[in-house]
Structure 1
Amino acid sequence: MATLNHVFSSAVRFSTRRFGRREYLPTDRTHAWQLHSGYVRMFAQDDQDAIATLGLWRAGDIVGHFGGTNQPCFIECLTPVEATPVNLNNLNQHEILMAQLQQNQGLVRILHQKRVELRLLAFLQWLATQYGCPMPQGTLIDMPLTHQDIADAIGSTRVTVSRLIKRLYSRGEVTYRRHRYMLLGVEICES
């Protein structure tokens, strides 16, 4: 996903704030957040507490809730984050919405896989394409995600994701340490 630093060159700037892992960035319909460091995920939660991951963002991206629905959205820090609130009136909202739409489309394509194992592989490949660092052994996904984070993103359970990751590990397709994953010998398809 392209970073959007150029979008807010004329934006009114506020002071940078720091957030801890698993803290939430405040959301409203008048401000977005420019991320300076760290990773966040945006999600919605229904009445039965089911989580729908709407996107993942990193330093350089702008993230916010831009309306269109009354369902609340949450922006959760996956790591410690530094971010600055930016007034939406001073941004090119079209470009930001297009970046969010690309995130949503990638996740929807993943969710359309019928088997959970295929969803997991598609999600890991998508992450590798979006956030991966090529290494001699494979592609490192340097975004710390727990099995629950992955389960939320692919519409599964933590137990199922843990079992499937162990299976991929035993087949030599993935390795992981400290919630960071590396795809080994798996072809990364550009989406």
Structure 2
Amino acid sequence: MPTRSNALWHIQSGYVRTVTWSPEGDSIPLGFWSAGDRVGEAISQISLYEVQCLSEVIAQALDISDGFSRESVMAQVQQSNDLLRIVHCRQMKLRLLQFVCWLANRFGQLTEEGLTVPIKLIHQDIADAIGATK
């Protein structure tokens, strides 16, 4: 999704992740978002910022001159805190378990087969999110 410093995206359906990059060029996930969330460089205050679609997405561009809600900012802070807590867990197995549980709590949908997370992530996406190598 195109990003502009003066715009936000209001996700109406689908799943996205927001990322930045380390000085070495490694992807650093900033958050995972779905319907109802608002994302954008203006909220994150990170200049190397990208919104990546993880599914088919419908989103509405919003101009920041309309302002953004306290809830949008707090959602960014909460996700940053959650992901930092996960990535700083010392045991890799526990880190992975915590990330999967976080995804299930945030995006899980109850089906006849159990709880499913409808986000398609590749191994590298998960490794980036938990600070691991493949």
TM-score of the alignment, normalized to the shorter chain, above 0.5: yes
Q: Aligned-pair distance for 1:138? A: 3.4
Partner secondary structure for residue 66 of structure 1: helix
Describe how 1:168-183 pairs up with structure 2 within 5 A. none
What does residue 34 of structure 2 align with?
A: 58
Are 1:98 and 2:74 counterparts? yes
Instruction: State the alpha-carbon separation in 1 of the partners of residues 46 and 106 from structure 2.
Output: 29
Instruction: State the percentage of identical aligned residues.
Output: 38
User: Do the aligned partners of 1:29 and 1:67 also contact (CA within 8 Å) in 2?
Assistant: no
Q: Aligned-pair distance for 1:68? A: 6.7
Unmatched 5+ residue regions in structure 2?
A: none
Structure 1 residues 72-106: Cα deviation after superposition (integer angstroms, max 9, x where no partner): 11111111212111011213342211111111111
Count of aligned residue pairs for this structure pair: 134
Q: Aligned-pair distance for 1:123? A: 0.2
Describe how 1:51-130 pairs up with structure 2 within 5 A. 51-66=27-42, 69=45, 71-130=47-106
What does residue 12 of structure 2 align with?
A: 36
State the Cα RMSD in Å: 1.7
TM-score normalised by the chain length of structure 2? 0.90
- Structure 2 counterpart of 1:152, from 119, 122, 128: 128
Unmatched 5+ residue regions in structure 1?
A: 1-24, 159-191
4+ residue segments displaced more than 6 Å: none
TM-score normalised by the chain length of structure 1? 0.65
What does residue 173 of structure 1 align with?
A: none
Taking CA–CA contacts closer than 8 Å with sequence separation of 6 or more, which of the two structures ends up with the larger relative contact order? Answer: 2
Q: Which amino acid aligns with 1:66?
A: A
